[in-house]
Chains A and B, each alone.
Chain A
Amino acid sequence: MRNDVRERRVAKGLSQGDLAQRLDVSRQTINSIETDRYTPSLPLAIAIARFFGVTVEEIFHADHN
């Protein structure tokens, strides 16, 4: 699932480690989400969206093809 986590994180001037710490997950998990290798659970996706002040749909883009 494509997402804009990296762009929004960089725009906030945060490192992957900073974001990981804010969300209480590992830096590896943030990296995997940003590179589309891991799709987060719904609670984590909501937490990420809330952190950036957007809706889940605005940051995660489901591909239906």
Chain B
Amino acid sequence: MTTTIPASTAAPTAAAPAEPAHDRRSERLLVWLFLVPTVGGLALFTLLPIAASFVLAFFRWDIITSPEWAGLHNFGDIASDVTVRRAFLNTIGFVIVAVALQLGIALWLAILVQSRLPSWLQSVFRSAFFFPLVLSAASVSLVMAYLFNADFGLVNSILNAVGIPDVQWLSTGSGAVAVVIFVYVWQSFGFSLLLFLGGLASIPTEVYEAAELDGAKGWSRFTKITLPLISPTLLVATVMAVIAALQIFDQPWVLTRGGPGDSTRTAVMMIYQSGFQELQFGRASAIGLVLTALILAATAAQFRLSRRYVFYQ
């Protein structure tokens, strides 16, 4: 469903009067003037650290002593480290499950909110679903740790009340993974939901009316109309959700510190541990570079797939 704009309509209907050269220069100057703070900040706080991290990945450095050239040693070291491998596998597994749940729940709730609720109630639910996102992930995780405490937590008390015995939420691998995913999804789906609500609102009602006349209802209406028309939003939401999920740290750090064993250890956790706990900043940078490559690859793959599945109106 791609509509292209004819080249003729994009062209100006009449030739614009030529601007004097000094006006163009001062306009360019003004543009740069406004860009300087953002570009400067980006260069100083994002690009420079990325470049420094790239260089540091080839050194051994503990902050106190001078960096020592290490060549590819840090990369070899992380490749042979089973904990790092496990952390990356955990992260990838987490991304697949958490992003699928996050987007699925967000889309389902967005459709429910948009189609079943009056507009004043929509804004109430929108705010309610978005609210967890503005909370600190560490605080949320701390509270969740109390709720899921196997001995004194509210969750087990409720389960006990209905005859279900205690569940070792945070001290077994599967339980800990489930809690981390739950906490992450609960806190994150609000953002995707807002994106989806925006996408759904942009679908013209005439399309649904026409579909209804043609007899499309329920599931077929969702798969044949809603999904294709919000596919650009879905792409943006997926890309953002995958990038964010690949960087998960706060929730497993506060809830489980990566345990039991390494069952909830993630890639960013390994960066933190190597750098700030073990003072191996070169190794931490190497892990960071591998994670960056993974994020770039995942994003590129999504954009490539989008050529086939995303429809622009």
A, B from the same assembly: no
Q: Which residues of A does B touch, CB under 8 Å? A: none
